[in-house]
């Protein structure tokens, strides 16, 4: 399952520095606007202590973690919705991603140019919001014009969709994001699924702070947190420059030592990757054997046959049952036979909803 988070923000907020730290790709990072023109894509391993635990218990020949993709998208400026800067390219790129990681500058440094001439995280956030809202409003208004024809002709479905489209229009005109509209998933897909609205995508904010503010944040990050609390969105505080240094340390002991020196229990990047994974409504289940211990990505709420299908379509088509072990039980009893003997392996059918962290064996017949 390949899902993408787009890293967005104004120019010079630390997007490419963060991307370089977080991914296997190496985007150019420089002190001028539009350094990133074509979007860079990085494939990132999702940190998971449970996978480490299983690896120690099973001692497999191979370990395969789950991944997530990050896309570093060109910096946006005021007027982008009308094509200013690289606006059209930016908006086209962001339309393709599944979720947004919005990087906001929360540090003062006279040596780093700010495209708006001052550091104001709330103002910066609102620039991005306004440009995305304007583009979404354009899309909604075009669909309203098409839908009105069907509604006037007496089409009941068109009438219902028109009412929802008008709600989206008024919400955007009020300066709010499309995700603020309360609507069930099925109706939402029917009404705006084809529009790929930019402000309907789930969002996570990254407050890029100075080195001294990594642990506690600062006045800038607090202003950002206050400004977005009504959205129910997470705010991850980190220093992209330091995270870039941390990511270059390959030796595990040195890595831990570096984190310890800064008073960190885990890197900001690790928190960001985990939060991005959750933002996409993803969970992980595991398969464990001597040949391979592997993490599999599925959408929260999937049933056992769907989960089996990510391994192979035949697993879903011929699904018979799933044998499920909870990670806590595996930790307690150490081996699969011991788990079975303790009566802790459950046999589940087609209606079983997979839980995050389940260890699963599928029985199928095609």
pLDDT for the residue numbered 91: 76
Of residues 327 and 89, more confidence is placed in: 327
Residue 85: pLDDT band by 50, 70, 90 thresholds?
Answer: very low
- The answer on 357 and 244 residing in a single domain is no
Q: Are 232 and 279 in contact (CB under 8 A)?
A: no
Domain annotation covers residue 235: yes
Domain-ending residue, one of 199, 228, 254: 199
Using CA atoms, how far residue 140 sits from 126, 145, 348, in Å, is 20, 9, 44
Q: Are 165 and 188 in contact (CB under 8 A)?
A: no
Domain annotation covers residue 292: no
Structure tokens at 55: 């690896």
CA 143 to CA 138: how far, in whole Å? 9
CATH number, position 141: 1.10.150.300
The phi, psi pair for 358, rounded to 5°, reads: -60, 145
Looking at the chain, the whole-number percentage of residues with pLDDT higher than 90 is 67
Mean pLDDT across the chain, nearest whole number?
Answer: 88
Across residues 145-157, what is the average pLDDT?
A: 92
- The answer on 226 and 189 residing in a single domain is no
Range of the domain at 137: 130-199
Domain annotation covers residue 193: yes
Q: How many beta carbons lie within 10 A of that of residue 240, not counting itself?
A: 25
DSSP 25: S
Of residues 78 and 270, more confidence is placed in: 270
Domain annotation covers residue 181: yes
- The answer on 311 and 242 residing in a single domain is no
DSSP 23: S
- The answer on 176 and 71 residing in a single domain is no
- The answer on 326 and 261 residing in a single domain is no
Q: Is the four-CA dihedral 132, 136, 139, 145 of positive or negative sign?
A: negative
Closest CA to 287 of 195, 358, 194, 236: 358
Domain-ending residue, one of 157, 181, 199: 199
pLDDT for the residue numbered 116: 59
* Beta-bridge mates of residue 362: 322
Domain annotation covers residue 52: no
DSSP 43: E
Q: Are 121 and 104 in contact (CB under 8 A)?
A: yes
CATH number, position 308: 3.10.20.30
Domain annotation covers residue 180: yes
- The answer on 40 and 30 residing in a single domain is yes
- The answer on 244 and 210 residing in a single domain is yes
Please state the residue numbers annotated as binding site.
12-17
Domain annotation covers residue 95: yes
pLDDT for the residue numbered 113: 57
- The answer on 307 and 164 residing in a single domain is no
- The answer on 151 and 38 residing in a single domain is no
- The answer on 355 and 227 residing in a single domain is no
pLDDT for the residue numbered 221: 97
pLDDT for the residue numbered 249: 87
Q: How many domains does the chain have?
A: 3
CA 308 to CA 106: how far, in whole Å? 43
CA 87 to CA 364: how far, in whole Å? 50
Closest CA to 135 of 190, 75, 199, 186: 199
pLDDT, tens digit, 9 for 90 and up, residues 258-273: 999 999 988 998 999 9
Radius of gyration of the chain (CA): 23
Helix ranges restricted to H, the chain: 15-22, 49-58, 87-95, 121-152, 156-173, 185-192, 219-228, 240-247, 252-261, 268-279, 304-309, 313-317, 327-333, 336-341
pLDDT, tens digit, 9 for 90 and up, residues 95-115: 889 999 999 999 988 776 565
Domain annotation covers residue 243: yes
- The answer on 96 and 225 residing in a single domain is yes
- The answer on 98 and 27 residing in a single domain is yes
Please state the residue numbers annotated as binding site for ATP.
12-17
Q: What is the pTM of this model?
A: 0.84
The phi, psi pair for 290, rounded to 5°, reads: -65, -30
């Amino acid at each position: 399952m390949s899902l993408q988070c787009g890293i967005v923000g104004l120019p010079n907020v630390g997007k490419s520095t963060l991307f370089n730290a977080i991914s296997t790709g190496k985007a150019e990072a420089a002190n001028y606007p539009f350094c990133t023109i074509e979007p860079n894509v990085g494939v990132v391993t999702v940190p998971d202590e449970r996978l480490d635990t299983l690896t120690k218990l099973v001692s497999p020949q191979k370990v395969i973690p789950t991944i997530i993709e990050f896309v570093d998208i060109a910096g946006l400026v005021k007027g982008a919705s009308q094509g200013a800067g690289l606006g059209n390219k930016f908006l086209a790129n962001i339309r393709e991603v599944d979720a947004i990681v919005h990087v906001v500058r929360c540090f003062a440094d006279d040596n780093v140019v700010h495209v708006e001439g001052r550091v104001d995280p709330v103002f910066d956030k609102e620039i991005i919001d306004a440009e995305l809202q304007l583009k979404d409003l354009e899309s909604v208004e075009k669909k309203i014009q098409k839908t009105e024809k069907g509604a006037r002709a007496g089409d009941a479905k068109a009438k219902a969709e028109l009412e929802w489209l008008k709600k989206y229009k008024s919400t955007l005109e009020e300066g709010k994001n499309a995700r603020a509209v309360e609507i069930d998933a099925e109706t939402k897909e029917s009404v705006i699924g084809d529009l790929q609205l930019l402000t309907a995508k789930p969002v996570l904010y990254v407050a890029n702070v100075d080195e001294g503010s990594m642990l506690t944040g600062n006045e800038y990050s607090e202003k950002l947190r206050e400004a977005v609390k009504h959205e129910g969105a997470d705010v991850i505080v980190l220093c992209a420059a330091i995270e870039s240094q941390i990511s270059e340390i390959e030796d595990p002991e040195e890595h831990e030592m570096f984190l310890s020196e800064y008073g960190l229990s885990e890197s900001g990047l690790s928190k960001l990757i985990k939060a991005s994974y959750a933002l996409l409504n993803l969970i992980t289940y595991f398969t464990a054997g001597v040949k391979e211990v592997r993490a599999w990505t599925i959408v929260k709420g999937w049933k056992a046959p769907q989960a089996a299908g990510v391994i192979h379509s035949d697993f879903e088509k011929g699904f018979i049952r799933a044998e499920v072990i909870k990670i806590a039980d595996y930790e307690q009893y150490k081996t699969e036979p011991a788990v079975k003997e303790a009566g802790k392996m459950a046999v589940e059918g087609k209606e079983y909803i997979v839980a995050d962290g389940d260890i699963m064996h599928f029985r199928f017949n095609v």
